[in-house]
Amino acid sequence: MLPFTQQQFIFVFSVYNGAIWPLQPIVHGAGLLMLTMLVRPSRTSEKLSLVLLAAMWIWTGLVYQIGFFSRINPVALLFGAAFVFQGVLLLEAALRGRLTFGPARGLRRSMGWALMMYSLLLYPLLGFALGAHYFELPAFGLTPCPVTLTTVGVLLLASRPVPRRLYFIPLMWAVVGGSAAVLLRMPQDGVLLLTPVLLVVLAVYEHVAGLTRHSVVTAGSLSSAYPAPRKMREGQRR
């Protein structure tokens, strides 16, 4: 059983959104700018995007989780600490250049763009379609579930191996926060609940694809190393 009701959960969003207005459209615009920067990434745009993402985690941890959500759920104090820690990890990755981004190709990056577009555009639109008022919606970049969706999307766009520690807290929240889709009647969070499953499917797909490429390269190398006998080649020409 949750220590709060669905009505209390929505009320916290209303109070929180009212208190921080008009930060929501500003951060939403910053998210669109981040998406644009990742389309044609550079060292500067990569760093700025990760710093912005880190700020979203730190703000959400300190202001939403600890400042507001903890009023109805004491465990939010721990959630807040975890969110701040994730923000610090992303900030460290930005400052040390641990992530780079390239052209969007392949299943991994297609999934990354899909999650970002969902978080930025479809997530709030789905909330409106379900009858929620603007202040009752989890705001992009300022509340846990949209921040998590955006983060997983950004990590999938990275063109070099991503440190596993950057995935841990987002995936943990995907399970905790994604349960709101069922327990708190927030259907737009259903995608978040599916995120760990999608990542497992992606990992299996990339593993199988890697084995296939390795087999093709090995076969090609063997053909080059052991060419067909001269008589056989002459027979093939005839």
pLDDT score of 232: 45
- Report, as an integer, the average pLDDT of 203-226: 65
Partner residues linked to 101 by β-bridges: 158
Angstrom distances, CA of residue 201 to CA of 107, 162, 204, 205: 11, 17, 5, 6
- Report, as an integer, the average pLDDT of 206-232: 59
Given a cut of 70, whether residue 125 has pLDDT beyond it is yes
Overall pTM surpassing 0.85 (yes/no) = yes
- Report, as an integer, the average pLDDT of 8-27: 97
pLDDT score of 180: 84
User: In angstroms, rounded to a whole number, what is the distance separating the alpha carbons of residues 206 and 74?
Assistant: 40
- Report, as an integer, the average pLDDT of 221-229: 54
Angstrom distances, CA of residue 30 to CA of 2, 26, 92, 180: 34, 6, 20, 26
First to last CA, the chain: 80
Q: What is the pLDDT of residues 20-67, one digit of tens each?
A: 999 999 999 999 999 999 988 899 999 999 999 999 999 999 999 999
8 A C-beta contact, residue 72 and residue 9:
yes
User: In angstroms, rounded to a whole number, what is the distance separating the alpha carbons of residues 34 and 29?
Assistant: 9
- Report the half-sphere exposure of 146 (CA within 13 A, side-chain side): 25
Q: How confident is the model at residue 18 (pLDDT cuts 50, 70, 90)?
A: very high
pLDDT score of 202: 87
3-state helix, strand, coil in the chain (%, to 5): 80, 0, 20
pLDDT score of 208: 87
- Report, as an integer, the average pLDDT of 79-101: 95
Cα dihedral value 32, 117, 18, 16, nearest 10: -120
- Report, as an integer, the average pLDDT of 15-24: 98
- Report, as an integer, the average pLDDT of 108-127: 94
The pLDDT mean for the chain works out to 88
Q: How confident is the model at residue 231 (pLDDT cuts 50, 70, 90)?
A: very low
